[in-house]
C-alpha cells in the first residue's frame, strides 16, 4: 500500500487566493483526519470524517476553511481566501475499520507545506 497520499507537497500562494489541499487515505480506512501543524500552536485537529461524513469540525479556524469527502478515497481541505496566518504544514491521516477502529493508530501522510505571502 502506498500509504496516505497528499498533494501538493508544497504550495506557495498570495494572500486572498484560494488553496485546495488533497488527500487520498489508505484503502479500507473509514476515518479521515485533517491536522495543522505550526511552531506556535503545535498539532491541531481541524476536522475528521467517518465513512465520508464529517463528525467534528470544531477545530476548523473559521468560515474560510472547508473540507469535503465526496467518496471513501478522496478528501479536500479548502481555504478561501487564504491569509498569511494560514501558513503551516497540513497533514491528512486515516485509520482502519473494525469494531475498535477508534482505538486504532492513525496513519499520517507526508503533509502539505503551505506558505501564504
Out of 72, 96, 107, 115, name the contact with another protein by CB under 8 A.
Answer: 107
Residue 109 binds another protein, judged by CB under 8 A: yes
- Classify the C-alpha dihedral 84-15-67-4 as positive or negative: negative
Asked if residues 84 and 116 have their Cβ atoms less than 8 Å apart, the reply is yes
> Which C-beta is closer to another protein: that of 10 or that of 14?
10
Contact status, residue 34 vs residue 23, Cβ threshold 8 Å: yes
Contact pick of 38, 43, 97, 98 for another protein (by CB under 8 A)? 43
CB 90 within 8 A of CB 4: no
By CB under 8 A, residue 55 contacts another protein: yes
The residue among 41, 49, 85 whose CA lies nearest residue 66 is 49
Among all chains, which residue has been given the C-alpha cell 500509504? 3
Nearer to another protein (CB atom), residue 31 or residue 65: 31
Instruction: Say whether residue 93 binds another protein (CB under 8 A).
Output: yes
Asked if residue 110 binds another protein (CB under 8 A), the reply is: yes
- Interacting residues with another protein (CB under 8 A): 4, 31, 42-43, 45, 48, 55-56, 91, 93, 100, 102-103, 105-111
Amino acid at each position: 500500500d502506498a500509504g496516505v497520499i497528499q498533494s501538493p507537497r508544497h504550495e506557495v500562494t498570495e494572500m486572498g487566493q484560494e488553496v485546495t489541499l488533497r488527500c487520498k487515505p489508505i484503502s479500507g480506512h473509514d476515518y479521515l483526519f485533517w491536522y495543522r501543524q505550526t511552531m506556535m500552536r503545535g498539532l491541531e485537529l481541524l476536522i475528521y470524517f467517518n465513512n465520508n461524513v464529517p463528525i467534528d469540525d470544531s477545530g476548523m479556524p473559521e468560515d474560510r476553511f472547508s473540507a469535503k469527502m465526496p467518496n471513501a478515497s478522496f478528501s479536500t481541505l479548502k481555504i478561501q481566501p487564504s491569509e498569511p496566518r494560514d501558513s503551516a504544514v497540513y497533514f491528512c491521516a486515516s485509520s482502519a475499520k473494525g469494531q475498535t477502529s477508534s482505538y486504532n493508530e492513525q496513519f499520517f501522510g507526508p503533509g502539505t507545506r503551505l506558505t501564504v505571502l
